[in-house]
Structure 1
């Protein structure tokens, strides 16, 4: 026991004196200032060997292979004393770099490279598989001049040859190709006058073909360059997922607004580019259509319009831009204040080698200094201004003013007739009265407000009122057909409740207008007229109900005519009533034909139709009131009799007044004569 006690006492004294016997430190520990401390085996050179990491632990250590290597014994951790080596892993056996790419193994790693003729979407020569990089074909063959006309200048073909040669060089950048394009075009535009449409078409095609390739090879995310004859703005997005949302490109004179969904298209290539290429001070003539040419009516003639903006070419990565789901908008600054008609156009190479066309483009908003265009495809665009007022506009306006003024007078006479003449009061007269009231208000609004497009809200209100009152005209016309049908079927003795008439004549149009405005309130008012917008088939909120009413009335009239024919064939004693209803029916059918035909021509008129359609619509529309007055008043014997009675009464009163005036004058004359005679006798 005493020995153990002495040993314990020795350890205690050694601890108090900070002295530890060397023989008490275990393996992997050493002494330092009398203490047992861990030995860091990893400080020794080549402890674990090449391609391995050494990790120290208390009293020991372990080795692990570097990423891309595996131990020869298959264990993750090992000791240097085991003579283990770290061997390279060939990642290319398991990793796939994707289509059009191949894998290169390196010591401890790997990298992917696009095949020859393909370019990485992130513009890096080497990339990893997990970066989701796509190798896209670099279509340098797009720059072949074979698709262009053989008559184009050699200078344009030379530009394509130089661009294609540069494109096929390894490691070329979009910045280099863009510089070559701009310098070549500067030289071309400064020397070559653009008088041939085939040359203009080829010029636009060169730019449209080159810009997507420049965007594919561009290292920068955006670029802007300006030269005396050209200016370019470009945006590029490079990311694993497709970009979305709106974007804008603008120069001093043109602003291009669109969405990245439009630039990408249906298949995302790992990048997307959008370009605005502006030709500064470019004069382009317009080809006049020949008499025997089979050219679309959307072609613009040189003798009618001139350029009033800079020309801009729009190009994106999406190859399918002939019909866009989302239209693009272009804001053009005018070269001079617009004092006449403005038109948005694009260059259509299919029209006799090239010409301006309005197909797919429309004016969204226009002022004296700028125009906003909306187009459903991509190409080269501009704004044209009429050299003079459109042909025959003055004649059409004169017809409109004269005809509508005459119609308003006739309709006012009709309203007074159906309202004040008691002898003709009936359900049918009530229908005529409200038909004339609706047509009177519609014509008055048309005359005053159809062209007041400056105030958008006011124009929309005018369009809504025209929509309502013209629909009311057709609804009252339909009620007339219903009333005639009831008169024939129910043997001449039937009336319709005034409440029902009002609900059908004014309630139905009001309901249609409310629903239409709720669905698309922006459809009321256009840049040209305060009428329904033709886009998205909104015009059918008017023509749809009109077509239904015309079909319903046609059915009623056919049945009515059939019944009348049966009654005339039979020995019906009430022949006079039958003849009256026959006259009423013929008049109503004539009225429906006139009004229906007018709006068939009106459909073409508001869609910028031909001159013949414009004249037909103007004449029929302006003389509606006159025709209604003739059909419902002058052709009605009962109304004519009332007019004759009224005129006779007025004439009788005038004669009586004249007679009384003459009698008074003669009596005065006689008195003066008697006085004179009396005076003479006295003398």
Structure 2
């Protein structure tokens, strides 16, 4: 058959971002496809608008880059950058999946590491991010089957794990606020159980409402029977409806990031005030504080805010920054909360190493806690470290006693060791 094409004289770049779709009416029944530049055909950016026995009308446009799940502008980019971004995203998600798996196994199998609330929150966050990365990696392969119901299921699952990840980031920030700002004033029974209901339940409600109200909001960018490759990046099941995307994805994530950013600033101010009140000899170095700040930045998901800056002429730059930082979020969590955490490394040496590298079983609190007078011992879980918020019922006498003893001994509670004791 004939090939229908169009060109614009003296055009200096790609024709895109059109206010109206280009309509091509062909005088026979056919499939709407375009030349992909590699000698083949695909349906990227074109779909059948109307068809009869005599003619077919196609509408053509460019689709968004699927590798950025939070592409707020939802405008196309050139094919070269799209392929590079796709490759970066796949590689980053693959690396993160491996190290998130190690993190989950470490905190699941080594019971001593998950005795406090921050470690339990970290475990749930790692599970959510692991699910997000795995579904993302399998999405293109599953979508290549072209099964509409399966595509919707994958898109819903991806949506769920994305919201779950951000919900746990938000809960981690809330726990941090309780630990650093309201150390003695908060008692929440069944603390972690309620966090789990919120962390896994709220995203389930949101996704359930979308499925019940507008199930066709989920779908595939294009439906093609061609073999999936990195060049076929349009084969991806995700939220296609713009209204649903901005309401259930962008607004929710923006709210979490706004709250996390505010708590992050409050925590930095609180730590700064503690550092000023400390004796000069006990203050930590700049590199240690910087490491703690970077750790919290990835833990609270603040790097995802880069997506809101990807507009206009700087869009491609921020998309690269977004893809690199956020696809490797799981890897950075492993580095800061496993590899660089002293108690985790000790547990690895105790249970995994042999010979000269193996450590014998040790008493954790005898090495890490400040010495307490024998006549008034404090149980490990009730000692008011900044590392966690235990649901401890204490009367005013007990609280005042702890505070008095802390002030007399100039204990490390006046400023937490960010590398070891910050929440999560």
For Structure 1 versus Structure 2, the TM-score category normalised by the shorter chain is 0.5 to 0.7
What residue number does 1:489 align with? 181
| Deviation digits for residues 94-135 of structure 1 (CA, Å, limit 9, x no counterpart) | xxxxxxxxxxxxxxxxxxxxxxxxxxxxxxxxxxxxxxxxxx
- Tell which structure's C-alpha radius of gyration is larger: 1
Q: How many residues align?
A: 310
Asked if the contact 1:591–1:631 (Cα under 8 Å) also holds between the matched residues in 2, the reply is: no
What residue number does 2:151 align with? 459
Change (3 A) 1:456 1:515: same
1:420 aligns with 2:112: no
Asked if the contact 2:118–2:175 (Cα under 8 Å) also holds between the matched residues in 1, the reply is: yes
* Aligned equivalents of 2:254, 2:42: Cα separation in 1: 36
Asked if the contact 1:399–1:619 (Cα under 8 Å) also holds between the matched residues in 2, the reply is: yes
| Deviation digits for residues 375-412 of structure 1 (CA, Å, limit 9, x no counterpart) | 9xxxxxxxxxxxxx943565444433332221111001
* Aligned equivalents of 1:412, 1:371: Cα separation in 2: 48
Superposition CA RMSD, Å: 4.5
* Aligned equivalents of 2:219, 2:140: Cα separation in 1: 9
1:476 aligns with 2:168: yes
* Aligned equivalents of 2:239, 2:346: Cα separation in 1: 43
Aligned ranges for residues 203-222 of structure 1 at < 5 Å? none
Q: Which has the higher helix share?
A: 2
What residue number does 1:568 align with? 275
> What's the offset of the Cα at 1:646?
4.7
> What's the offset of the Cα at 1:596?
1.8
Q: Which has the higher strand share?
A: 1
Asked if the contact 1:309–1:334 (Cα under 8 Å) also holds between the matched residues in 2, the reply is: no
> What's the offset of the Cα at 1:630?
1.8
2:238 corresponds to which of 531, 536, 540: 531
Change (3 A) 1:422 1:371: farther
Aligned ranges for residues 393-472 of structure 1 at < 5 Å? 395-425=84-114, 426-450=116-140, 452-453=142-143, 454-472=146-164
Asked if the contact 2:118–2:172 (Cα under 8 Å) also holds between the matched residues in 1, the reply is: yes
Aligned ranges for residues 252-401 of structure 1 at < 5 Å? 284-287=6-9, 289-290=11-12, 297-298=16-17, 310=25, 333-334=31-32, 339-344=41-46, 373=59, 390-391=79-80, 395-401=84-90
Aligned ranges for residues 8-407 of structure 1 at < 5 Å? 284-287=6-9, 289-290=11-12, 297-298=16-17, 310=25, 333-334=31-32, 339-344=41-46, 373=59, 390-391=79-80, 395-407=84-96
| Deviation digits for residues 517-571 of structure 1 (CA, Å, limit 9, x no counterpart) | 2232111123232111243353331111111111112222222223333333335
| Deviation digits for residues 648-680 of structure 1 (CA, Å, limit 9, x no counterpart) | 436557xxxxxxxxxxxxxxxxxxxxxxxxxxx
What residue number does 1:268 align with? none
* Aligned equivalents of 1:539, 1:365: Cα separation in 2: 28
> What's the offset of the Cα at 1:489?
2.3
* Aligned equivalents of 1:576, 1:649: Cα separation in 2: 36
* Aligned equivalents of 2:56, 2:41: Cα separation in 1: 12
What residue number does 2:212 align with? 518
Change (3 A) 1:569 1:525: same
Asked if the contact 1:308–1:336 (Cα under 8 Å) also holds between the matched residues in 2, the reply is: no
What residue number does 1:628 align with? 333
* Aligned equivalents of 2:347, 2:185: Cα separation in 1: 23
Gap runs ≥5 in structure 1: 1-252, 254-279, 300-306, 313-330, 345-361, 376-388, 654-683
* Aligned equivalents of 2:57, 2:324: Cα separation in 1: 32
> What's the offset of the Cα at 1:297?
4.3
> What's the offset of the Cα at 1:490?
3.2
What residue number does 2:381 align with? none
What residue number does 1:592 align with? 300
Gap runs ≥5 in structure 2: 62-77, 222-233, 359-424
Asked if the contact 1:363–1:371 (Cα under 8 Å) also holds between the matched residues in 2, the reply is: yes
Change (3 A) 1:548 1:597: closer
Asked if the contact 2:34–2:43 (Cα under 8 Å) also holds between the matched residues in 1, the reply is: no
* Partner SS state of residue 462, structure 1: helix
